[in-house]
Structure 1
Amino acid sequence: MPDPATDLAHAMAGAYNAGDMERVIALASQAGDTADEGIQLLLGLAQQATARYGMAARTFRQLAQRRPDVSAYWNNLGVACRMSGDLAAAEQALSTAMSLAPGDADVLYNLGLLHIQQRRWPVAREILLEAVDRAPDVIEARLQAAFACYVCGDSTGQEAMLAGAGDWPGQPGEQALVLSTMLMAQGDPDAALRALARAQLPGGPAGESLRLRITAQRVLLHERNNQLDQARREREQLPLDALEALPPEAGQARADAWRAHAAMAMRAGAHAEAAALYRRALALADDDQTRASVAFALASACDRQGQYGEAWQALEAAHAAQLEIAGGVLPELLAPDSQPLQMAEVDRAAFARWEPLPSPDSRQSPVFVVGFPRSGTTLLEQMLDAHPDFRSMDERAFIHALTERMEQVGQRYPADLATLTGTETDQLRAAYFRMVGRVLPALGRHRLVDKNPLNMLCLPMIMRLFPQARIILCLRHPCDVLLSCSMQPFRSPAFMVLCSSLQRLARGYVQAFEHWYRQVEAFRPHVLEWRYESVVGDLEGHLARLGAFLDIADPTPMTRFAEHARNKRFISTPSYAQVTRGIHPGAVNRWHHYREHFEPVLPLLRPLVDRLGYTL
């Protein structure tokens, strides 16, 4: 005799395989409370596929209670609970699934997504990286792992997860937006645009909303790459009157489009228009990352109009949002006495015990451009890059990566620099140039410019590998530096904390320079001080001095740095727009507009201000 339960299960399986989830759910109702395990499983999967997450959670909870030894049931229960908003139940279910199947990549992936939703970024990063290690070809896991690395400031991990992402198949619209943001952050604008071009959009209003957001993202990408004509053409697809007519549920699309219009208004000098748009976008921001980004942009627009009180209020909102982000990544840094900047020293006596080792001469060594962020390092980098003898690689933390490499193999940095052998230093230099080669495969005989401001804190590594290197320390009035840092949306969680208040930032600035001068006293490196204000007043004279320091026969090509910067596809730092305009004195003494906020930190800064030859 035919078995009705078997016939029902077969009918449901057929409907499920055909993608007809509504029929699966309708058929399951015929089984009543006596449904067997297979029928319940198909029902739960169909409920999940049709976004009936509460119902799916009840179904999978029944299955998990029926068969508590089956990891897949707990895993699906965790997914359904997460999607329905019951995060505590989701964590309990996924933890049970993990205990039953410790290495299951699917469970790891879902647990990582849960931690992202909980904003537990470091844990999410670890678990998702493990999921990728178990299933390296699963693109969804790689993308989410990359995003967790992105939020945690782990650029190395992010780039590893996104290796080959330019050739990935199209992603759903939301993921495509995230992917393009990360690809742009790591300096691959072409791949970022391809990710948007391949985005898979649903039909109906949801698809139209995503289309508008993707168009807005393209505007921002082109503007970020100094491709203003392309940005304007994309902006034409976002008429402001059409944005006003969007339904209330399209708020995210409206806000993204307003931000795109505002960015272009800033480029055109229409700062009041930009500020109005940023204010509207800020009112709709519903997460800390968006809130911080828009508030920083609003502060800049207000500053350009001379509305310094409003600018400072926007900065306070931006830093409050960034502090929330950083607190989820590095909560230990929120302590008032924490030290966000990593500093490791070698004193003169310890340096005297270093074994002399063979090393490259100055022309075979990189030219290191260092200094506190926002001191003019990008401007100098573009000057050098404009010269045919040099190639810069944008801002890379390769020297810092070498310190981490030592730690990973059990060597203490910087103490064990003293006992490195010639072979070991050769290996470290080779690792450095391999990283460089991935960014500048055609470096050839050109001299490398390694511009990373905080390499000023890595002098021991530089002096061990490249003791003959020329190092240029960029200087600018400390208060202008601190103001500029305060106005930038740094991605590093440590820098988010450092810049969260002028008091903390001033203390970190002073500590960084005190560290630098102690290390310079110990190592006596070849250093040229490059003072921003002096360059503004006498560019040609300072380029001649720079040419002599670097043994450049003809430094005149460096005067064309602004044109050179305009022709580059990508400049990673916040100065990407400023350097295309050439030298301008408007950045000198900006801090006076905010002097009332600086008064409490001036006593802390005064000794260093005096040492650097500035005045208050």
Structure 2
Amino acid sequence: MPAPSTDLATAMAGAWHAGEAERVIALAGQATQADEDDEGVQVLLGLAQQATGRHRQAAATFRRLAQMRPDVSAYWNNLAVACRQAGDLPASEQALLTALSLAPDDAELHYNLGLLYTQQRRWLLARQSLLDAAHLAPHFIEARLQAAYACYVCGDNTHQETMLNGAVDWPAQPAEQALVLSAMLSVQGDLDAALRTLARAQLPDGPAAGVMRLRIAAQRVLLYERNNQIDAAQNELRQLPSEALDALPADAEQARADGWRAHAVMAMRRGAHADAEALYQRVLACTIDDESRASAAFGLAAARDRQGRYPEAWQARCTAHATQLDIARNVVPELLAADSQPLQVAGGDLGHATRADWKPLSSPDSRHSPVFVVGFPRSGTTLLEQMLDAHPDFRSMDERAYIHDLIEGMALVGQHYPADLASLTQQDADQLRSVYRRLVGKVLPDLGERRLVDKNPLNMLCLPMIMRLFPHARIILCLRHPCDVLLSCSMQPFRSPAFMVLCSSLPRLARGYARAFEQWYRDVDAFAPRVLEWRYESVVSQFDDQVDRLGQFLETSDASPMARFAEHARDKRFISTPSYAQVTEGVHRKAVGRWQNYREQFEPVLPLLQPWIDRLGYAE
């Protein structure tokens, strides 16, 4: 702010520093023509107008300042903020872009542009602007929090984790931000940090504090339930009596929806499916954001499915996917095209290349390589992961996209995947393995001599990279009846925008399934990996035999600890996939042949799936 240059500017500055914004505006009304051309007078007037909610007047004041001094980025920034608050978003964007042309390294400008794009739901642009702000000012906590949320919406887990590194030590956040931060920390598996964030949340003044306390209690219920701590969740639910939710004011829709959702989730856990259905319908009756609406619709579909009300369950599922498509449209609009391929991996086909065409390189043996668990999502990968993790010789790191990150890393240095795998030098391969191990070490610093379990279903699309870095690795392909897989996928609230699109319709999902297996078997023919096909239905019907078979494949003398996976999963608390509750229940047949309840919906895609039903051994 320029130093006061007139008596009027001095008086206005005194009023501003005393917190008397209205007096600043009143004094400005006494301005002479000379005063009106004074920068200090105009800056103070604009700030006071902004502070008192006169956003359009503030925008006009700052526009005049920017015209007076077009070389001052701060005035363009002030103009942008005032325009955004006034609802003139195009003018705000133009002002910020002008400011950035003058001061490209100003973190606050990138932050404000990110906030603008967030308000417009232009999530990819918001993510980049906010990441730029955090890169320029690593201690800019607000920028890191907002960047993490934009990454969360975009399904960018890697950058989200980077932005939230050290978040447990951040200052206490206003309650609204604390709710967002705690949800993201929970997704990363850090329940303690999520709960601490809520405990330190700064409540608003007045009656709004009581409303926020209910929202925080509802969040705690969901956090405990998500981490399989059911007793703690039930205790927290007592802080959300129905009468308190009914008594909320009309404008507390989000709090009411949060409370009913917490009750619905717990009703599902205790098997009260009719109660859960009614509660989810209450949530959907509220005016809420798209993410909350989609989650409630998926919950409603599950509650109806459990009651055997399949047509109504399918209807709720369609509502959920329509809502998720509205979310995805603002992140990956190009994937909404009818011929889009959401599962497409960077790079093209290998052509006629095979493992024999690669330059020979030294690599770890099988016992010093990860065990890769792959397969189309919802094929039983989480069940297998927990079985392996229950064994003292193995350690899983939950679902991470580190192999995908290595592929992206090749592109960043100008290498083409998968073609340039053939020309990797020993140094290149060692460096890629080093990057992989460094990423793993952040998650499992105590891995030691145990064998890493890398469970990521869609690593089935990354077989060339796996075989180049770990050619002796044991790979387990999880299989399940294709129709059961597709049904389960279509009933899950996936967070990835690409997966929201993929699962939005059975035809699109069936095409994605077929393409995934076409690529898998093409790569298997080229590279001849050591693969065990792990069939979900066989595990359910012949559990002990399959455990022995698994132990033999992994060259483990005693596989018996794997049979105690359910107890292990309950003790583990956080499991990132939608199967977090099911794997604590042990093996059962409830999920086998479930698709038959929706056979009418599947009829149109059966011709596309039939070749895979036959090839994978599921012909009726």
Instruction: Give the letter aligned to residue 359 of structure 1.
Output: S
Superposition pairs of residues 506-521 of structure 1, within 5 angstroms: 506-521=510-525
Is 1:462 matched up with 2:466? yes
Which residues in structure 2 correspond to 1:590-609 (within 5 Å)?
590-609=594-613
CA distance, structure 2, for counterparts of residue 420 and residue 387 of structure 1: 35
* CA distance in 1: counterparts of 2:557 and 2:411, whole angstroms: 41
Matched, 1:289 2:295: no
Q: Deviations over 1:34-91 (max 9, x none)?
A: 5443233223223323433233223323333443333222211211221222212222
| Corresponding pairs, count | 613
Q: How does 1:315-326 map to 2 (within 5 A)?
A: 315-326=317-328
Aligned to 1:364: 368
Q: In the alignment, residue 300 of structure 1 is paired with which amino acid? A: A
Distance (Å, rounded) in 1 between the aligned partners of 2:599 and 2:40: 71
Paired AA for residue 257 in structure 1: G
Q: What is the CA–CA distance in structure 2 between the aligned matches of 1:545 and 1:440, rounded to whole Å?
A: 27
**Distance of 2:492 and 2:529 partners within structure 1:** 31
1:550 aligns with 2:587: no
Partners of 1:12 and 1:232 lie apart in 2 by: 56
Cα 1:374–1:476 change in 2 (3 A) is same
| Mapped partners of 1:291, 1:37: distance in 2 | 48
1:251 aligns with 2:247: no
CA offsets per residue over residues 222-273 of structure 1, 9 Å max, x none? Answer: 1100111221222111111111111101111111111111111111111111
Unaligned runs of 5+ in 1: none
Structure 1 535/350 Cα, relative in aligned 2: closer, same or farther at 3 Å? closer
Counterparts of 1:473-512 in structure 2 under 5 Å? 473-512=477-516
Deviations 1:3-51 (A, max 9, x none): x984443343234334343443444444477544323322322332343
1:12 and 2:12 equivalent? Answer: yes
Q: How much has 1:602 moved relative to structure 2?
A: 0.2
Instruction: Name whichever of 60-69 and 408-417 sits farther off.
Output: 60-69
Report the 3-state secondary structure (helix = DSSP H, G, I; strand = E; otherwise coil) of the residue aligned with 1:471. strand
After superposing the two structures, state which structure 1 stretch, 595-604 or 103-112, moved more. 103-112
Q: Is the 8 A contact 2:372 2:476 kept in 1?
A: yes
* Maintained 8 Å contact 1:347/1:519: no
One-letter amino acid matched to 2:577: T
Change (3 A) 1:237 1:19: farther
Correspondence 1:201-212 to 2 at 5 A: 201-212=203-214
TM-score by length of 1: 0.96
Matched ranges for 1:89-104 at <5 A: 89-104=91-106
Amino acid at match of 1:172: P
Structure 1 residues 371 and 108, CA gap change in structure 2 (3 angstroms): same
Deviation digits for residues 469-524 of structure 1 (CA, Å, limit 9, x no counterpart): 11111000100000000011111111111111100000110111111111111111
Amino acid at match of 2:422: A
User: Measured at CA, do residues 16 and 484 of structure 1 come closer, stay the same or move farther in structure 2, by a change above 3 Å?
Assistant: same
- 1:613 is aligned to 2:617: yes
Letter in 2 for 1:450: D
Distance change >3 Å, CA 63–CA 458, structure 1 → 2? same
Q: Matches of 1:29 and 1:170 in 2, distance apart?
A: 40
Cα deviation code 1:248-304 (max 9, x no counterpart): 011111111111111111111111111111111122243322222221111111111
Residues 183 and 189, structure 1, Cα contact 8 Å, conserved in 2: yes
Farther off after superposition, 401-410 or 337-346: 337-346
Q: 1:583 to 1:18 in 2, by over 3 A?
A: farther
After TM superposition, the score normalised by the length of structure 2 is 0.95
Q: 106-115 or 65-74: which moved more?
A: 65-74
Q: Give the conservation status (yes or no) of the 8 Å contact 1:348–1:521.
A: no
Counterpart secondary structure, 1:60: helix
Where does residue 159 of structure 1 map in the other structure? 161
Determine the C-alpha separation between the residues in 2 that align with 1:433 and 1:285. 46
2:569 aligns to what?
565
Contact 1:348 1:523 in 2 (8 A): no
State yes or no: 1:418 paired with 2:422.
yes
Query: Structure 2 CA distance, aligned partners of 1:326 and 1:51?
Result: 34
Q: Is the 8 A contact 1:303 1:311 kept in 2?
A: yes
Say if 2:254 and 2:288, in contact at 8 Å, map to a contact too: no
Contact 1:5 1:31 in 2 (8 A): no
Preserved CA contact (<8 Å) 2:182 2:194: yes
> Secondary structure of the equivalent of 2:110?
helix
Aligned counterpart, 2:436: 432
Query: Does the CA-based 8 Å contact 2:5-2:40 persist in structure 1?
Result: no
Whole-Å separation in 2 of the counterparts to 1:329 and 1:520: 33
Superposition pairs of residues 94-493 of structure 1, within 5 angstroms: 94-343=96-345, 344-346=348-350, 349-493=353-497
What amino acid maps onto 1:548 in structure 2? Q
* Matched-pair contact (CA < 8 Å) for 2:301–2:313: yes
Alpha-carbon distance in structure 1 between the residues aligned to 2:455 and 2:94: 47
The 1:196/1:24 distance shift into structure 2, 3 A limit, reads: farther
Task: State the secondary structure of the residue aligned to 2:478.
Answer: strand
Q: Answer whether contact 1:369 1:471 (CA < 8 A) is retained.
A: yes
Question: Kindly tell me: are residues 127 and 542 of structure 1, through their superposed partners in 2, closer, same or farther at Cα, counting changes over 3 Å?
Answer: same
Checking the alignment, whether the CA contact within 8 Å between 2:354 and 2:527 is kept in structure 1 is no
Who is 1:88 aligned against?
90
Residue 568 of structure 1 aligns with an amino acid whose one-letter code is K
SS of the aligned residue for 1:545 comes to helix
Q: Secondary structure at the match of 2:452?
A: strand
Partner of 2:64: 62
Query: How far apart in 2 are the matches of 1:267 and 1:32?
Result: 71
Aligned counterparts of 1:58 and 1:268: Cα–Cα separation in 2:
59
1:156-178 residue CA offsets vs partner (Å, 9 max, x unmatched): 11111111111110111221111
Distance 1:118 1:124 in 2: 9
Q: Tell me, what secondary structure is at the counterpart of 1:406?
A: helix
